Amino acid sequence: MSQRPGFPVKLSQTGATGPARKVPAAVPARPAAKSNPVVAASQGASGARSRTASQVSGLGLDSGAVRARMVRKLAEQGVQDARVLEAMGRVERHRFVESALVNQAYEDTSLPIGLGQTISKPNVVARMVELLCQGLTGKLGRILEIGTGCGYQAAVLSHVASEVYSIERLRGLHEKARTNLRPFSLHNVHLIFGDGMLGYPKGAPYAGIISAAGGETVPDAWLDQLAPGGRLIAPTITPAGHQALVVISKTAQGYERQVLEPVHFVPLKSGIA
Ligand code: SAH
């Protein structure tokens, strides 16, 4: 594991929070495309032109163009932060999913990643990372991600933050993320195998904490490990009994909590397996 970087935690701006911007809810996923990935992905957009063989590269997927289309769609859906759109355009999502699902990698759909877990749909990843960045300018400081899964969101975070600590409780997925991320050589991503409900004190305090799994409450450890001016984004059960995105900002006066739109994340569980 990499050494903890020096103090103080780098926050691009402290104490700045603002009202959450409402964005349209994620669009329903389209049915799985069955044909060639390139054609399937590019034909998904209305008015998309057909592709010639010379435009097809790599895995049989002209992934730059298909990703650009995904990014345009994210912008249409309300994602505005240029840092987030750029990061979403950079990370090759198709390298994080099973080969049988590659043709759906740039659709706005969640996908299975094994062991009963799922990678969130791009719209949800972009929304969460945008919430993390809200009110802060420039690159974020250290970020803690709970639930590495396949490593996709950690890769996205690596482009908006100086350091990303990502913790996963399932050894199989921790190893899978390690394998998935290796070719990208993202030296600011640190993968940890452990129970994220305890946070990861060695990297604290964090400019931001983002959970990819939904709990009954936000663990105290996460609040303790958040830097002043930092933001925490977590799907959490609300008093009304459903799961919603909760944003908590740590200010000099205490914590500010906002409950946003309903979401459906896999459960936050304690212990390792
Ligand atoms: N960000 C991931 C999404 C993974 S789904 C991606 O891009 O693929 C959520 C993950 O949270 C699952 O892998 C699940 O095992 C993990 N998880 C649930 N509870 C956890 C806990 N207490 N600590 C760490 N990881 C946890």
Structure tokens at 79: 């994602």
| Domain of residue 149, residue span | 110-267
Predicted confidence at residue 101, as pLDDT, reads: 95
The pLDDT mean for the chain works out to 83
- Is 29 among the domain residues? no
Q: How far is the CA of 166 from the centre of ligand 1 (A)?
A: 9
Q: How many domains does the chain have?
A: 1
Q: Is the pLDDT of residue 27 over 90?
A: no
**Higher per-residue pLDDT: 168 or 51:** 168
Q: How confident is the model at residue 9 (pLDDT cuts 50, 70, 90)?
A: very low
Global pTM value: 0.81
Burial class (CB in 10 A: 0-12, 13-18, 19+), 47: exposed
Predicted confidence at residue 60, as pLDDT, reads: 53
Pairing of strands 226-237, 243-251: antiparallel
- Is 56 among the domain residues? no
Q: How far is the CA of 20 from the centre of ligand 1 (A)?
A: 25
Pairing of strands 206-211, 140-146: parallel
Ligand 1 pocket residue status of 167, Cβ below 6 Å: yes
- Is 43 among the domain residues? no
Domain CATH number, residue 231: 3.40.50.150
Ligand 1 pocket residue status of 191, Cβ below 6 Å: no
Q: Is the pLDDT of residue 225 over 80?
A: yes
Query: Residue of the nearest CA to atom 17 in ligand 1?
Result: 147
Q: Is the pLDDT of residue 232 over 90?
A: yes
Q: Which stretch of 9-23, 30-44, 209-223 has the lowest confidence by average pLDDT?
A: 30-44
- Is 59 among the domain residues? no
Query: pLDDT tens digits, residue range 126-165?
Result: 999 999 999 999 999 999 999 999 999 999 999 999 999 9
- Is 178 among the domain residues? yes
Eight-class DSSP state of 24 = P
- Is 119 among the domain residues? yes
**Higher per-residue pLDDT: 207 or 18:** 207
* Residues with a known catalytic role: 120
